[in-house]
Amino acid sequence: MLFNMETQAQITSAMHAPGAVLLISCYELGHRPIGLIRPLQSLKAAGFAPDVIDIAVEPLDTEKVAQARFIGISVPMHTALRLGVHLVHRIRQINRDVSVCMYGLYATLNADYLLSHGVDFCIANTESRELIGLIESLGKKKQITTDDNGISVGKLSPLEVYAQFEDVGEKRIVGYTETTHGCKHLCTHCPIPPIYNGKFSVIDRDTVLAEIQEQVSQGATHITFGDPDFLNGPMHGLRILRAMHDAFPNLTFDFTTKVEHILKHRKHFPEFAQLGCRFIISAVESLSDTVLTVLEKHHTRDDVKTALDIVHGAGIALRPTWVPFTPWTTLDDYLEILQFVDTHRLGYHVDPVQYAVRLLIPPGSYLLNRPETKVLSLTLDEAAFSYTWVHSDVRMDELHKTVNTLVENDVRAGVDTLETFYRIWALATDMQHSSRHTPLYRSKEAHPPAPRITEAWFC
């Protein structure tokens, strides 16, 4: 059928009506969700009028759900996926016929389960193209005539409702962006390699700078660069930082990078500091050679010490993250992590939740290819989106449970981070019936404060 230009402009798919496409984010570690920001922009540019809900900071608007024809649920991490599955049940009660798509890293890893539990489509959505293509193809199935001129209804929550940057006597509103997709490394425990297979791509500099500018105009005074690893393309990142600093000299920032990259790109750290870098997150995970080999982290205990010297030497705080409970971590290894934190006076550089992190092995994980994993008796718990494992030393599983409970209770009660740290230490030494590991710096004064985002980082 042929239409003249004017008629053609009025005929549009039902998906183009305001609110017909609804994007929902479940959880992104307390920052404004990039899983909404980027698809929202791309869908608007493609002529849609999407709406958005971030259930981490606002209630589920049932009216929006009821009028949607397509709902995309962003699941970039395990916690978001678990919340997303509950959400699908609620959505189906409100709007039985809506097309539901899960998108993000954890959607494709768990597609088998999701597609048989109420989800119609699962896509990785590494850039927004796949999502738009899907919505366009669904829209073509049903066309309507509408007077809608593509007015957008999507509005993200204000930055003030998200986690803030905090340092001594200082609070900052945080904006969020990413300069790259994927990662060129293949750490076995990470959910990124099964999707990106060692590839990464850069996001156009102007896109990133426009996102920063937009968030600064909304009050952001600190930017979190949430790239899987900001230094996969160090010069790309550096050019963006220089341009950002020229435009907004008082803006501060943080990013995440691996220990190996800190050593390799050490010459850039003084400049990062001068450009406003306040802290760096680095996935140290363990100090045990055995565990680091299984996880294919490509760093050693000595490298971690060198990384600390480089970052702290530049006047930037290093916030290490840990995976202290794995099938290969011994009680001595666990205590060694605590001792390292104490010796290097990092008590306030580590969020207590880090001492309770237990290795997740999701379907498709590269860990499943490791000989050390193949000898374990693993059972896939589909509904938990992970293989279950037990430690050969029963004390480790017991310690995990007690540390987990302690951290939850202490965080809820607002107990000081250092106090919690030494309580964990006491639990671990009790478990070992030994005082071989003794704290050196058991006082608040000995542990310098560290800048942080008020929502703890974990994966």
Query: Which residues would be at the binding site for ligand SF4 (CB under 6 A)?
Result: 183, 185-187, 190, 192-193, 228-229, 258, 283
Residue 85 or 284: which CB sits closer to ligand SF4? 284
Tokens of 388: 């279950």
Q: Is 198 left (phi over 0), alpha (psi -120 to 50) or beta?
A: left
CB of 192 to ligand SF4, least distance (A): 5
CB of 280 to ligand SF4, least distance (A): 13
CB of 184 to ligand SF4, least distance (A): 7
| Residues in contact with 124: Cβ distance below 8 Å, sequence separation at least 6, in sequence order | 103, 104, 105, 107, 108, 130, 195
Residue 236 or 258: which CB sits closer to ligand SF4? 258
CB of 24 to ligand SF4, least distance (A): 25
CB of 354 to ligand SF4, least distance (A): 15
Question: Which ranges of 174-288 would DSSP assign to H, the alpha helix?
Answer: 193-196, 205-217, 234-247, 259-264, 269-274
Tokens of 321: 């993250």
Q: Is 298 left (phi over 0), alpha (psi -120 to 50) or beta?
A: left
CB of 190 to ligand SF4, least distance (A): 3
- In the chain, the largest separation of any two C-alpha atoms, in whole Å, equals 84
Q: Do 51 and 153 form a contact (C-beta atoms < 8 A)?
A: yes
Spatial distance between the Cα atoms of 213 and 220, rounded to a whole number of angstroms? 9
Residue 450 identity (one-letter amino acid): A
Residue 12 or 224: which CB sits closer to ligand SF4? 224
CB of 283 to ligand SF4, least distance (A): 5
Helix (H, G, I), strand (E, B) or coil at 265: coil
Instruction: For residue 121, give the H/E element and its range.
Output: strand 121-123
Spatial distance between the Cα atoms of 216 and 218, rounded to a whole number of angstroms? 5
CB of 348 to ligand SF4, least distance (A): 24
Q: Do 205 and 241 form a contact (C-beta atoms < 8 A)?
A: no
Residue 198 or 315: which CB sits closer to ligand SF4? 198
Residue 186 or 263: which CB sits closer to ligand SF4? 186
Spatial distance between the Cα atoms of 438 and 338, rounded to a whole number of angstroms? 10
| Residues in contact with 347: Cβ distance below 8 Å, sequence separation at least 6, in sequence order | 341, 417, 418, 421, 441, 446, 447
Residue 100 or 307: which CB sits closer to ligand SF4? 307
CB of 298 to ligand SF4, least distance (A): 9
Q: Do 188 and 101 form a contact (C-beta atoms < 8 A)?
A: no
Tally Cβ neighbours within 10 Å of residue 100.
Answer: 23
Residue 91 or 259: which CB sits closer to ligand SF4? 259
Residue 110 or 257: which CB sits closer to ligand SF4? 257
Residue 279 or 348: which CB sits closer to ligand SF4? 279
- φ/ψ of 215, rounded to 5, equals -75, -30
